[in-house]
Chain A
Amino acid sequence: MHDNQEQKQLFERISIQNKGILFKIARIYCPQEDDRQDLIQEMLIRIWLSLPRYNPQFTLSTWIYRVCLNTAISYYRKNSRRIIKTQVLDRQILEINEFIPDGTLIEQIDRLFQLINQLKEIDKAVIFLYLEEKSHREIAEILGLSETNIGTKIMRIKKQLKSLFYEQ
Chain B
Amino acid sequence: MNNKTIIMEKSNTIKVWQMYQTQLDTLLAIDKQRLEDISRIKVFHMLTSMRPAKYFALLTGLVWVIGGVFLLSNLYIYAFDQVSKFFFFSFAAQLFITAIAILIYVVQLVLLYNLDVTEPIYSTQKKLAKLRKSTIWVTRILFLQLPFWFSFHLSDTVLSTGNLPYLLLNGILIILFTFASVWLFINIRFENRHKKWFRLIFAGIEWTPIDKSEELLWQLDDPNDKSNKICE
List 24 A-B pairs, Cβ < 8 Å: A7-B39, A15-B30, A15-B35, A19-B24, A23-B28, A45-B38, A45-B46, A48-B38, A50-B118, A66-B121, A74-B125, A76-B212, A80-B205, A81-B49, A94-B31, A95-B31, A100-B23, A122-B216, A141-B120, A142-B120, A144-B119, A146-B227, A149-B227, A149-B229
Q: Take A76-B49, A109-B20 as given contacts and tell me if A49 and B43 are in contact as well, using a CB distance cutoff of 8 Å.
A: yes
Pick from A19, A46, A144, A151: contact of B121, CB under 8 Å: A144
Interchain CB contact under 8 A, B225 and A152: yes
Task: Tell me which residues across on chain A come within 8 A of B19, comparing CB atoms.
Answer: 105, 108-109
CB nearest to B209 among chain A residues: A76
Task: Tell me which residues across on chain B come within 8 A of A32, comparing CB atoms.
Answer: none
C-alpha spacing A112/B30, complex, angstroms: 25
Annotate B42-76 by CB proximity to A: 1 below 8 A, 0 otherwise. Answer: 01011111001000000000000000000000000
Shortest Cβ gap from B118 to chain A (Å)? 5
CB contact list, A16-57 vs B, under 8 A: 16, 19-20, 23-24, 41, 44-46, 48-50, 53-55
Task: Tell me which residues across on chain B come within 8 A of A8, comparing CB atoms.
Answer: 39
Task: Tell me which residues across on chain A come within 8 A of B110, comparing CB atoms.
Answer: none
- Which A residues fall within an 8 A CB radius of B? 7-8, 11-12, 15-16, 19-20, 23-24, 41, 44-46, 48-50, 53-55, 63, 66-67, 69-71, 73-74, 76, 78-82, 85, 88-89, 91-100, 102, 104-105, 107-109, 111-112, 120-123, 125, 131-133, 140-146, 148-149, 151-153, 156, 161-162, 165-166, 168
Interchain CB contact under 8 A, B24 and A146: no
Task: Tell me which residues across on chain A come within 8 A of B201, comparing CB atoms.
Answer: none
- Which B residues fall within an 8 A CB radius of A? 3-4, 6-8, 13-14, 16-17, 19-21, 23-35, 37-39, 41, 43, 45-49, 52, 116-125, 128, 205, 208-209, 212, 215-216, 219-220, 222, 224-231
Pick from B26, B38, B216, B225: contact of A153, CB under 8 Å: B225
Interchain CB contact under 8 A, A76 and B118: no
C-alpha spacing A100/B4, complex, angstroms: 22
Interchain CB contact under 8 A, A156 and B225: yes
Interchain CB contact under 8 A, B27 and A146: no
C-alpha spacing A78/B4, complex, angstroms: 34
Pick from B32, B47, B228: contact of A12, CB under 8 Å: B32
Task: Tell me which residues across on chain B come within 8 A of A152, comparing CB atoms.
Answer: 225-227
Give the one of B3, B20, B116, B122 with max A CB within 10 A: B20
